[in-house]
Amino acid sequence: MDMRSEKCDTIMEIRSGGDDTIELYNASARGCTTTLNLLIHKDSHILNKVSLSSFSETPLHVSALLGHFDFTRALLDLKPEWAAKLDSQKRCPLHLASAEGHIKIIQSLLNENNDTCIVQDQDGRIPLHYAAMRGQIEVMRELISAGPKSTKVMVNKVETVMHLCVKYNQLDALKLLVDSLSNEDSLINSQDHDGGNTILHLAVMLKQTEMVEYLLSVPKVKEGSDIQNRIGLTALEVLEHCSKDFKSFNIQKMLMNASVERAKNQNILSPTAMSSHPKSTTPARSSKKRLDKLLSYLGFHVDMIDETRGALMVVATVITSITFQSGVGGPPDLYSNFAAYIFFTSNTISFTASVSVIFLLISGFPLKNKVCMGILSFSMGITLIFLVAAYVSASPFKEGVGIPIGLSVLFVVAGAILLIYVIRLFMWLARTRCIRKFISTCGMR
């Protein structure tokens, strides 16, 4: 600010009978040291009277936030204790200067009081957290150098500064922290206390492609890529429960290339259940492992929807052709007995169901979810069952022998298929409920 501007501000602000405290805050907002000196000359105790005012922050907070170095330096010379003064949100001037990236002011504040670099505000954040959230790299270097312990301070004992870097997509800030913590394996792969997520989990959930690519290039992160979060999911499994798009495809490819594995224990528990579940005995663990293996085999796979859609179209088309030919050209000697009734009833149901499936597949109805595809698959199962029933009724078995045996086998197979569908339905409902609860309580809120 030039001399002419300072004089103009002084003329505007220093008025006889005015509120000198308000003039002081105006001067701190403008960074006018001339006004500051005049106010002090007018009232040597004006800085002491700030604590009696209704303002929640000191003039040092204002000048540090707005980056007025000369004004900040002048205040620190007169009131060095203001460097540790907290506003209504428990933030000291260093919090504000760190968020804005005023490096010279930060150096001056640290010279006055180095302990402020680990002061937490009402949200549990220290100055390093704000610098990381805003990608202030030089500020982060200065703060880490002044207080190395600040890298270990967690936000409300929930997440680390590296989690903040991922949340706010600050890749360069994360690189600086990883380099600074090269000897801190446990901190790099630390899990937050909300959902038990590592920074790799979080980057995958937020679909940050560059972040995931960088993290997989860090040996310590790659070694811990099989870490499970609170509900038993690795980073790869977290991706499988996210919406599918081009980013998720690229991230999945990165994870597979990096040999990231799924959890050996596929059973998903809620956070409460996991924390309260007692340690089981060895036989119980063995039985549970076999059960988990069976449930994993019966579960949906990632690419099942697209594969099933194409298979359903082919099968439905073939069955429609077969049942149509059988319906219009059935043997005439079958029209007068019970077998004929079974044949044409089963054939008609099979034909109608397969045509309905084809109609839904080509109508543009939104089928890209497991519920719709499960319903269509179940419909095709019913179609096949009645197709077999039509075959059994039309086959030249002996009276009273062939049909009962064939139908018995048919109902056994149909019952087994129905049981599998019921198990998979309950698995899907339980998994979906756990995932939604997990997302609502962890970093994706």
What are the pLDDT digits (tens) for 329-366?
A: 765 555 557 777 777 888 888 888 888 888 877 776 66
For the segment 223-282, what is each residue's pLDDT rounded down to a tens digit?
A: 888 888 888 888 888 888 888 888 888 988 888 888 777 765 544 444 433 333 334 434
Q: Is pLDDT at 161 greater than 80 in this prediction?
A: yes
Instruction: Indicate the pLDDT class of residue 444, thresholds 50, 70 and 90.
Output: very low
The closest of 160, 196, 195 to 180, measured between CA atoms, is 160
Tokens of 404: 């009962």
For the segment 32-83, what is each residue's pLDDT rounded down to a tens digit?
A: 999 999 999 999 999 999 988 888 899 999 999 999 999 999 999 999 999 9
Mean of per-residue pLDDT scores for the chain:
79
Q: How far apart are CA 47 and CA 41, in angstroms?
A: 11
**Top-ranked range on mean pLDDT: pick from 10-19, 108-117, 362-371, 397-406:** 108-117
The closest of 181, 234, 169, 182 to 208, measured between CA atoms, is 169
Which is more confidently placed, 443 or 28? Answer: 28
Tokens of 326: 């059988």
For the segment 89-139, what is each residue's pLDDT rounded down to a tens digit?
A: 999 999 999 999 999 999 999 999 999 999 999 999 999 999 999 999 999
Q: What is the per-residue pLDDT for 334?
A: 53
Range 196-224 burial, b when 16+ CB lie within 10 A, else e: bbbbbbbbbbbbbeebbebbbebebbeeb
Top CATH class of 155-264 equals mainly alpha
Burial, 88: exposed, middle or buried (Cβ in 10 Å; 0-12, 13-18, 19+)? Answer: exposed
Share of the chain above pLDDT 70, in %: 73
Q: Is pLDDT at 302 greater than 60 in this prediction?
A: no
Which is more confidently placed, 286 or 238? Answer: 238
Q: How far apart are CA 165 and CA 175, in angstroms?
A: 9
How many other CB atoms are there within 10 angstroms of residue 363's CB atom? Answer: 8
Q: What is the per-residue pLDDT for 109?
A: 96
Q: Is pLDDT at 210 greater than 60 in this prediction?
A: yes
Instruction: Indicate the pLDDT class of residue 308, thresholds 50, 70 and 90.
Output: low
Q: What is the per-residue pLDDT for 1?
A: 45
Share of the chain above pLDDT 90, in %: 38
